[in-house]
Structure 1
C-alpha cells in the first residue's frame, strides 16, 4: 500500500534511523547549549571566585562545584553520548533546582529555559543516547 503525502505527514510509526538522528540532535543541542552556561561557571571556579547561589543550603562553594560538574563535565558526556543515562542525572537535578527552587517564585518566562533543558534531559534518560554515540560503540563490544 502506497502512502499519500498526507498520510506520510501524519504517520505515527517510528523510523529507527530518524529516532537515532533525533537523539543525536537532542544530545548535541542540549549538551552543547548547556556548556554555554557551565563554561563561565568553570572560569569562576578556576579563578577562585566562589560567590554563587546556595539554593540547597550546601554552601556556595559546593553549589558552584556541583553546577560546574553538571553543566560542563556531564554536558560533554551527553554531547559524546558517553554514559548518557548517568550523565543526565546531575543535569536533571541541576535543572530541577534551577526551575523549581532558584526561579521557583519567578514568572514562567524566567524558568522556561531550565524547564526546557529538564524535559530534554528526561527524554535522554528514558531513551538513551541512540546508535550515533560512544555508548553504542561500547555496547557493541
Structure 2
C-alpha cells in the first residue's frame, strides 16, 4: 500500500504513513472478514466523516455491564474469526496444492542437485559461497 502511494514522491513517504495505516486498519480483510480495528477493539473506528454526520446514540450502561458485554462480544468475535481463518487456510492450501507435482522416489534413485552460483562482490548475507557444481545424491 505504502509503496504504491509513495511512488510519486519517494522522499516524503513518512508523511503518507499515518493515512496508509488508517486505510489498512479500517479496511475489511478477506481472511478474517473483519477490519483489524474491529478485531482489536470490538467496534469500528471513528473516522472524521462519522464526526461530521454524528455518532449513533448508545443506550446507557454501567461500567460492569460494558465490560461484561465487551468480554462476551470479543470471545464470540474471536471464535468466528478463528473458524473463518481455518476455512480460508484450507481454501488457500487447496489453491496452492493445485500447482504442486507429486514425486515418488525409491532407494538407489539418483537425484541431481544444483548449487546456486554466487558472483564475486555479490552480497551473500549469511550464505556460504560455494562452487556451481552438480552433485548426485543417492537415497
TM over 0.5: no
Q: Which has the higher strand share?
A: 2
Larger radius of gyration: 2
Q: Please indicate the TM-score interval, normalised by the length of the shorter structure.
A: under 0.3
* Structure showing greater relative contact order (alpha-carbon pairs closer than 8 Å, 6 or more residues apart): 1
